[in-house]
Structure 1
Amino acid sequence: MNAAPPKITPMLQQYLEIKGQYPDTILFYRMGDFYEMFFDDAVTAAKVLGITLTSRSAKDEVNKIPMCGVPFHAVTGYLARMIKAGHRVAICEQVEDPKEAKGIVRREVVRVVSPGVTTDDQLLDAKADCYVCAASFDRKSAKEMLAGLAVVDVSTGRFQVSEVVFTASDPAPLIDEFTRLRPAELLLAQSEVEEWTGLTDLLTAHLGQLCVTGRPDVHFDFRSALVTLTEHFRTANLAGFGCAAYTAAISAAGALLLYLKETQKSELSHIRQLSPLNHGGYLIIDDASRRNLELTETLVGGQREGSLLAVLDRTATPMGARLLRRWLLFPLQEKEQIEARLTSVQELIRQPDTRTAMRDLLASVYDLERLCSRLVLGHGNARDMTAIKTSLAQLPALHALLTGCTSPLAQAMAAEFDLLADLHQLIDAAIRDDAPISLREGNLIREGYNAELDRLIVLLRDGKQLILALENSERERSGLAKLKVGYNKVFGYYFEVSRSQAEALPDYFIRKQTLVNAERFITPELKELENSIATAQERRLELEYELFLDVRGQLVAHNQRLLAVADLLARIDVLACFAELASRHRYCRPTINSDRALTITEGRHPVIERALEPGRFVPNDVHLDQEQDEILIITGPNMAGKSTVLRQTALIVLMAHLGSFVPAESADICLVDRIFTRVGAMDDLRRGQSTFMVEMNETANILNNATENSLVILDEIGRGTSTYDGLAIAWAVAEELAQKNGVGIKTLFATHYHELTDLAATNPRIQNYSIAVKEWNNTIIFLHKLVKGATNRSYGIQVASLAGVPAHVIARASEILKNIERGEFNLQGQPAIATGSKSKKNEPRQLPLFAPPSHPVLSLLASVNPDELTPKQALDLLYQALAGLDTSNR
């Protein structure tokens, strides 16, 4: 006999109905002061959150329904853990007053929180954008695919589209775009989720955690998406945004906007622009080069600390930190824009008082972008408004400082500066500084902002005094000095007089009770006052909430002004940050040329220099052009500093394209279109690629895409395979870089293959350089200096000794090295590498698989009979043997 199904109460029935609308989420169902989860959601949540899993009914095993819950006042922390675990959470609130409810209280999902869609501070990195991305795919040809991408940071309202052409065999362009934006969530048409599993697995390998969300196919229909976008932006088309030709991206953008509206239950008024993510005006750095140069995170461990971004980031605001990161990922390529930034930075360097004052004021500015978005999405509270007010209070002084600057960029920013005085005045007049986080506890609105609220506050604060004042008034009016006010739970407030004086009371006194010696009366005025006092608290809470929503609505109506000021402050912040860096660390202003020449004098690595004690870093000069010094072949031992010189050159060029000063005595930087790097050697096991395959993939990308305007950094090409193969590949790659398109490409090429130094004899644009070392007492001292000329030694054994390899191993290695340098085999046909003091003739040896090559002299002697030779023949044979011996030694 089958057991009966568990009993479903009206509350659980409501829960299941709402859950059915959001099947791919964890439903946080509000019950009083807790968010409860049931069934499978409870099992999942209990495991992720580490909370106790209980049951709704414990009468029998059949009726046990898994259940867990979290307190509503601490929900943000629990949400953060759910989102970081890759789950989407639907927040279901009570939308009806329980006092007025008939039956079960009505509940609705008010928002859906996902890894890519959130505005909660605890879920966001203040210094990085949080993108949700939608992708739509079209086939361009038999081999090529077109990916239309749309990304939104809902916490700031930034909405961008892009289109990328890629092939199944080479998805690198698409991977580059994703790794640059690093979305936390990816939306795909439901029918394409399975089709693109390989791509999403590859993206997860590059990005780490990636939440993939399937959406109805119809949402990605071009016509439907176009209607969704034009209705939102209230435009006839998207031509005004420069996006009309992005058909695949428009399909993705429409689906993405619809997803945001469904999850946020909001009109998203802070998203007012759709902009194309063009790469034409930017210096392009692919994913491999970003990782190799450690621009935003370290190569090992993926940590922000130790990256170029961490070293450059001295911004004072979260908006500035995010903008700096975007500038780093999208460096400028237009000389006029770069020079404008450099001039503004130089002015702030020369005016340290102005710079310091700006940074002090900016330090008091909160995250206006995300605060504004929280208000628009209906999540903002009074403390958010107070933070906005504090931020706006800094604007007049910042504007005055900016107006005092003379650089064209500063003047342009001063001209667009909106002081937002009206919004500051509104918040200051309406919102209390000590307002609580909750919007239902009162104490939100200042006295003096609303007359009715002021009356309610007076009633609550001075109710007894008002009763006593009415008592005095009625005494004077009636002439009865002994008239007094009393109170009990049955009648409330009342007037009491002796029975003998009752007849003297005015007609508006209404008798309520007769006692032995007294009469009790009420008046309309007394009962009205009593009712006002009794209902004042409830009405005050309602009115304060209404007034708060009205103030929030007024601020939301001006959200575009707030976001524009936030963007302006971010730009000021980054420019002041660049000036502070240059002033503190002796950075110089680079000159920008169009001559395809690059000259750095006394250049330094911005990250490594900061990690060393002041004065310890050894600077270096680098010159590259496309006439005589196009490719520098750099040799030298490990640990001498080859990789440092390579990386610092690329980073200095990149910093110049940001509009930043650079760590050097002087720098004349040519505009470059791309920076390519092939640095380091490690397996990429997540993608199933060996060291050599990773190396060759990156090398192929460079050879196929680098132009005469690119900068190429190569470190140890060919190490992942055999010596001869690696040398052959390295030689061919260097030749191709020198000859490509008849012009060649500016390249720094570090290698341990000393044979590559012979390339300088084959091409006048290839030069040999080395990292200097000094030999001392059978060891070496690293000088870390790049000098003209090649070296023919790697000093590997000396480096091993410095690393702490045991002395007897070092001695044996030195002996083996000498054997190798003498020749491959000895006269007995034994490998020379095996001979030496440790070789013993009486030790058994494994027979060789192949016979050793015969010596020419031995072969000659074996072919003659000395007893039959004449003296003349013997002399000729001797000369022949000597000639053969000389040929063998050579």
Structure 2
Amino acid sequence: IAFGRFSDVLVQKGFKVARVEQTETPEMMEARCKSMSHPSKFDRVVRREICRIITKGTQTYSVLDGSPSESHSKYLLCLKEKVDDSSGQQREYGVCFVDTSVGKFHIGQFGDDRHCSRFRTLVAHFPPVQVLFEKGNPSGDTKKVLKSSLSTAIQEALHPSSQFWDASKTLKTLAEEAYFGKENNPAGDDGALPLVLQSMISGSDSLALTPGEKRELALSALGACIYYLKKCLIDQELLSMANFEEYIPVDKGIEKSESSNSLFAKTSQRMVVDGVTLTNLEILQNGTNGSTEGTLLEKLDTCFTPFGRRLLKQWLCAPLCNPCSINDRLNALEDLMAVPGKVSEVGELLKKLPDLERLLSKIHSIGSPLKSQNHPDSRAVMYEETTYSKKKIADFLSALEGFKVMCEVINIMDDAVDDFKSSILKQILSLKGKTRKGCFPDLSVEL
């Protein structure tokens, strides 16, 4: 039980911590030795296996690991770079970054200028605590960024091809390992890749083993990420969630949203606040000691829930600049200020909510069938089994309780929603199917 506490201290200091479990009982060892003709002294030892390697960028806060010390995301970032011309003016980046506590992968490829502006903005918006790159791959300019902006992050170079896979090896592994198989992904069809990854594959290849044009670097970065998660023994539980999102740089996203006509395109027009600006204006951390003291984030962050804090931080990095969506947000505030009694009641309820995003990821990893078949943890002999089982059940119940609280919030707001002007509030606070705009799923049957 102390493992969680002590391992966390070491991990925060930048060490890698391996958790070794006993994977047989003395009785099983005796039986094994009896079945051998000449057991040596090495065979007469109870078997032990590494069940998990924890690093700063791969914390999942499972039942054994203890609870997270802070609510903000910690990213593991893999990057691969290709300098386009000899003068080094143009470059391409492939990136894949994941918050292992939530299990969400972001993957993308984009062109950049000689100042690495887009790359700098990426690491400011999604600050990684651990960076993986291919040995000898990053150019001098990128190394400068890694040195200046990411001096506190752990940086690790991986061997080309054997550890930092190329795009085709990544696709081959995804096909062989069946991370997105039927039993892991009941909603999807048998073993199909998530849509984001499907869009990165060449259309002419029916076996899905050829990367699409301008996608090789992104898939290679994903390969490095999978290799590393595999090494830390958490690849199955995280990838089987099939939670992928394409990363499009903020300024590129604006060009895209002008041409698209989807409902959320209007809200996706955001101001580009690059890394330099975030630092100079002390939006997320101050210039004196790098903490949040005195920053804009500290002044604005009165969120009750951890996932609310994470979202607010993303909003601050890319503020809205479309009048329609800004006005809708202001309407939402007016609507809420008109019902102060209900708002304070909802606030009290939100305070009770657990960190649902992380909790769901935790529950998924306990119930992941891939993991239960061939992961060393499934063979581990736990002497504190009852304590852990109680913890697992408590986690599950607290997630259910969280959803119940959310349904209660909807009920409280139910009679006020019709008078609201803000369309975003109407979407959030009305049940799916009940009204035309409602987006909140009706969970009453499941609960």
Q: Which structure shows the higher strand fraction?
A: 1
- Cα separation, 2, equivalents of 1:295 and 1:214: 31
2:441 is aligned with what amino acid?
A: D
Please list, as runs of the form range in 1=range in 2, the aligned pairs for 1:810-821 lying within 5 A after superposition. none
- Cα separation, 2, equivalents of 1:302 and 1:237: 37
Matched, 1:366 2:310: no
Of the candidates 82, 87, 94, which is equivalent to residue 138 of structure 1?
82
Aligned match of 2:340: 352
Change over 3 Å in CA distance of 1:197–1:87 after alignment to 2? farther
SS of the residue corresponding to residue 244 of structure 2 reads coil
Aligned match of 2:14: 86
Of the candidates 243, 247, 251, which is equivalent to residue 272 of structure 1?
243
> How big is the shift at 1:104?
1.8
Matched, 1:311 2:299: yes
- Cα separation, 1, equivalents of 2:445 and 2:29: 41
- Cα separation, 1, equivalents of 2:299 and 2:325: 23
The question of whether the paired residues in 2 share the 8 Å contact of 1:368 and 1:388 is answered with yes
Of the candidates 116, 119, 132, which is equivalent to residue 171 of structure 1?
116
The question of whether the paired residues in 1 share the 8 Å contact of 2:196 and 2:245 is answered with no
Aligned match of 1:207: 150
- Cα separation, 1, equivalents of 2:314 and 2:221: 22
Please list, as runs of the form range in 1=range in 2, the aligned pairs for 1:165-564 lying within 5 A after superposition. 165-166=111-112, 170-192=115-137, 199-200=142-143, 202-218=145-161, 219-228=164-173, 232-233=179-180, 234-235=191-192, 238=195, 243=200, 245-265=214-234, 266-268=236-238, 269-279=240-250, 280=254, 281-378=269-366, 381-403=392-414, 404-405=416-417, 406=420, 407-413=422-428, 414=430, 415-421=438-444, 424=447
> How big is the shift at 1:152?
0.6
Contiguous gaps of at least 5 residues in structure 2: 31-43, 181-190, 202-213, 255-268, 367-387, 431-437
Number of matched residues?
349
- Cα separation, 1, equivalents of 2:10 and 2:281: 33
- Cα separation, 1, equivalents of 2:347 and 2:166: 48
For normalisation by structure 1, the TM-score amounts to 0.37
Q: Alpha-carbon deviations, 1:575-615, whole Å to 9, x = none?
A: xxxxxxxxxxxxxxxxxxxxxxxxxxxxxxxxxxxxxxxxx
> How big is the shift at 1:337?
2.9
- Cα separation, 1, equivalents of 2:179 and 2:169: 12
Aligned match of 2:27: 99
1:100 is aligned with what amino acid?
A: M
Change over 3 Å in CA distance of 1:346–1:261 after alignment to 2? farther
SS of the residue corresponding to residue 98 of structure 2 reads strand
> How big is the shift at 1:163?
3.1
For normalisation by structure 2, the TM-score amounts to 0.70
> How big is the shift at 1:272?
2.5
- Cα separation, 2, equivalents of 1:291 and 1:152: 23
> How big is the shift at 1:263?
1.6
- Cα separation, 1, equivalents of 2:197 and 2:328: 27
SS of the residue corresponding to residue 224 of structure 2 reads helix
Of the candidates 70, 87, 99, which is equivalent to residue 126 of structure 1?
70
> How big is the shift at 1:88?
1.6
SS of the residue corresponding to residue 282 of structure 1 reads coil
- Cα separation, 2, equivalents of 1:422 and 1:98: 47
The question of whether the paired residues in 1 share the 8 Å contact of 2:102 and 2:361 is answered with yes
Please list, as runs of the form range in 1=range in 2, the aligned pairs for 1:567-646 lying within 5 A after superposition. none
Q: Alpha-carbon deviations, 1:633-683, whole Å to 9, x = none?
A: xxxxxxxxxxxxxxxxxxxxxxxxxxxxxxxxxxxxxxxxxxxxxxxxxxx
SS of the residue corresponding to residue 149 of structure 2 reads helix
1:394 is aligned with what amino acid?
A: V
> How big is the shift at 1:229?
5.0
> How big is the shift at 1:369?
0.9
> How big is the shift at 1:213?
2.6
> How big is the shift at 1:162?
3.2
- Cα separation, 2, equivalents of 1:76 and 1:197: 39
- Cα separation, 2, equivalents of 1:88 and 1:248: 27
Change over 3 Å in CA distance of 1:353–1:174 after alignment to 2? same
The question of whether the paired residues in 2 share the 8 Å contact of 1:317 and 1:366 is answered with yes
> How big is the shift at 1:212?
1.7
The question of whether the paired residues in 2 share the 8 Å contact of 1:90 and 1:109 is answered with yes
Aligned match of 2:3: 75
Aligned match of 1:40: none
Change over 3 Å in CA distance of 1:127–1:200 after alignment to 2? farther
Change over 3 Å in CA distance of 1:308–1:177 after alignment to 2? same
Which structure has the bigger radius of gyration? 1
> How big is the shift at 1:178?
1.4
1:81 is aligned with what amino acid?
A: V
**Higher relative contact order, structure no. (Cα contacts within 8 Å, ≥ 6 residues apart):** 2
Q: Alpha-carbon deviations, 1:788-832, whole Å to 9, x = none?
A: xxxxxxxxxxxxxxxxxxxxxxxxxxxxxxxxxxxxxxxxxxxxx
Change over 3 Å in CA distance of 1:125–1:290 after alignment to 2? farther
> How big is the shift at 1:423?
5.7
SS of the residue corresponding to residue 165 of structure 1 reads strand
The question of whether the paired residues in 2 share the 8 Å contact of 1:157 and 1:270 is answered with yes
SS of the residue corresponding to residue 219 of structure 2 reads helix
The question of whether the paired residues in 2 share the 8 Å contact of 1:261 and 1:267 is answered with no
Q: Alpha-carbon deviations, 1:766-796, whole Å to 9, x = none?
A: xxxxxxxxxxxxxxxxxxxxxxxxxxxxxxx
The question of whether the paired residues in 2 share the 8 Å contact of 1:229 and 1:257 is answered with no
Change over 3 Å in CA distance of 1:278–1:147 after alignment to 2? closer
SS of the residue corresponding to residue 92 of structure 2 reads strand
2:158 is aligned with what amino acid?
A: R
Q: Alpha-carbon deviations, 1:110-136, whole Å to 9, x = none?
A: 221111110237674533111101101
